């Protein structure tokens, strides 16, 4: 029969009439101290506490206080020239086990059930059916055309100034100057340059054709 007790954060095996050295206690020699039991063994039957056994205890009589054997503590720091040597003797209390009381394991505290969290609120989003891509493209193309048609109907027709119309014609400066000198109508003239640009040669042809017609 034996019991595992806890004393000053350490565990010891206690048997009837056994002597234990435990960390120093604040008790005088001859006093009786009790310890909490973590485990017991009786006739091969083991009881384990959770963490301790309810009703179980170990009573012991304080025999004496003392100090353990001296140990040497040596400290050294590399490349620092630091060396320190000192001795240490650990204080202890010697007790003799007088009685072991067997108990039963304490029931573990039931864990409090977690509060059920309310399910997240999901906002309903209206689903808009998307039109086929072809219909969307046609609608986007038709919209500007319709707006342009409405603008033409709503706005009164204004004749653009001749200066602006002439400025929009793709023509070289030399050809424009020659056409102005001979009164050539540029609106009906086709250019032979890149992108239909009217060149000086085109104006010369128009002048000759105008002279032949006269």
Res 153 pLDDT > 60: no
Q: What is the rounded distance in angstroms from the CA atom of residue 4 to the CA atom of residue 69?
A: 25
pLDDT in tens, 155-188: 444 544 454 455 577 788 888 888 888 777 777 7
Tokens coding 133: 């891509």
Secondary structure class of 150 (helix, strand, coil):
helix
pLDDT in tens, 107-121: 556 667 677 676 776
Alpha carbons within 13 angstroms on the beta-carbon side of residue 32 total 8
Q: Using an 8 Å Cβ cutoff, are 20 and 14 in contact?
A: yes
Q: Which residue ranges make up each domain of the chain?
A: 2-105, 162-213
Q: Using an 8 Å Cβ cutoff, are 42 and 81 in contact?
A: no
pLDDT in tens, 127-139: 556 555 556 556 5
Strand partners, 194: none
Assign a CATH topology to domain 162-213: Dihydrolipoamide Transferase (4.10.320)
Ramachandran angles phi, psi of 54, nearest 5°: -70, 130
How far CA 197 is from CA of 167, 169, 201, in Å, comes to 13, 8, 11
How far CA 134 is from CA of 9, 34, 42, 131, in Å, comes to 80, 90, 88, 8
> Residue 144: which residues within 8 A CB-CB, separation 6 or more?
none
Q: pTM here?
A: 0.45
């Amino acid at each position: 029969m034996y019991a595992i007790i806890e004393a000053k954060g350490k565990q010891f095996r206690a048997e009837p009439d056994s002597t234990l050295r435990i960390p120093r206690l604040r008790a005088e020699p001859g006093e009786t101290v009790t310890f909490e039991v973590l485990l017991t063994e009786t006739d091969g039957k083991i009881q384990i506490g959770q963490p301790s056994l309810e009703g179980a205890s170990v009573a012991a009589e304080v025999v004496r206080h003392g100090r353990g054997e001296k140990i040497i503590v040596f400290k050294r720091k590399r490349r620092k020239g630091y060396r320190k040597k000192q001795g240490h003797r650990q204080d202890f209390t010697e007790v003799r086990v007088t009685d072991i009381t067997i108990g039963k394991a304490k029931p573990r505290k039931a864990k409090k059930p977690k509060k059920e969290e309310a399910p997240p609120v999901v906002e309903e989003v209206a689903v808009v059916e998307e039109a086929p891509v072809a219909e969307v493209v046609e609608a986007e193309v038709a919209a500007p055309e319709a707006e342009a048609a409405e603008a033409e109907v709503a706005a009164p027709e204004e004749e653009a100034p001749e200066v602006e119309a002439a400025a929009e014609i793709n023509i070289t400066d030399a050809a424009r100057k020659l056409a102005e000198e001979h009164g050539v109508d540029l609106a009906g003239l086709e250019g032979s340059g890149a992108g239909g640009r009217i060149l000086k040669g085109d104006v010369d042809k128009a002048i000759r054709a105008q002279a032949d017609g006269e």
